[in-house]
A and B are shown apart, each in its own frame.
Chain A
């Protein structure tokens, strides 16, 4: 059962999560505990890494235009910073008394805090990346909405020129996202929807071209051709809306998994 919803987050947090879990178990089993070694150097290494994260995090916040990231990321950074302070306190207490029970508790609390804060930060960043992909999806949806007012070949050529790069970017981004997800069910939906979008795109252009040709020649079947174009456009819209929905899913759904 995957705990982290992307392989990127899993790769960063899973090893440290296992280590912290092991420490908690050892702490519980050893009760009074052995004398703790001097942890000043490894705690200093964590503090330096946290200081760097705070710096990088603040730069990310300042350069981002994502209002939700600007609101959520400082909270996560604060959590990591507080946890780091707990580790420094624990290290200092253990130096004075290597058997100190409260120091051990503080050490575990600090390590857990680092894990939770880093997890919150990665989630916040990940959600922001997902919102970027969704913006690309919405761009395509906006172009699809224009399909119904295209009535000349010149406009159709321009429509294809505008739509193509957006579709390419959507396809590349969703494909990369799908590969990073740990939820097999969500991955399968994204693959299916993306394939549909890729298949339907040339069919849509073809249906638009046919309609324009009928309109120019004032031939029969204009209503049917328009209905066909609208049908293909609606199907593409539905597939992209489904992609948007699945991109936003992060929680593990046991029923779906089963």
Chain B
């Protein structure tokens, strides 16, 4: 189903964004 594929794309894009944001924070912890 196209809805599932669209949700997968959002999840992947959000994961990549959160990873990028976490990388900078991780250096401090």
Contact = CB atoms under 8 A, between A and B. Distances in A.
Given A15-B15, A20-B18, A45-B16, A37 B24 contact: yes
A49 B14 CA distance: 9
Contacts of A46: 10, 13-14, 17
Interface residues of A, number: 42
Contacts of B14: 16, 19-20, 46, 111, 114-115
Q: What interface size band does chain B fall in? A: 20 to 34
Interface string A172-209: 00000000000000000000000000000000000000
A111 B18 contact: yes
B18 A37 contact: no
Given A19-B15, A60-B2, A125-B3, A37 B10 contact: no
A59 B15 CA distance: 26
Contacts of A34: 24-25, 27-28
Contacts of B19: 19
A26 B22 contact: yes
B3 A121 contact: yes
Interface stretch (A50-58, A156-164, A236-244, A246-254): A50-58
A192 B4 CA distance: 29
A121 B7 contact: yes
A119 B24 CA distance: 27
A16 B21 CA distance: 13
Interface of A: 8, 12-13, 15-16, 19-20, 22-23, 26-27, 29-30, 33-37, 39, 42-43, 45-46, 48-50, 52-53, 56-57, 59-60, 80, 87, 107, 111, 114-115, 118, 121-122, 125
Given A49-B12, A111-B18, A125-B1, 17 more contacts: A12-B4, A15-B11, A15-B15, A33-B24, A33-B25, A34-B25, A36-B24, A45-B17, A46-B14, A56-B2, A56-B5, A56-B6, A59-B2, A80-B10, A114-B10, A118-B11, A125-B4
The 5 residue pairs across chains A and B that have the minimum distance between CB atoms: A42-B17, A26-B25, A53-B6, A49-B9, A30-B28
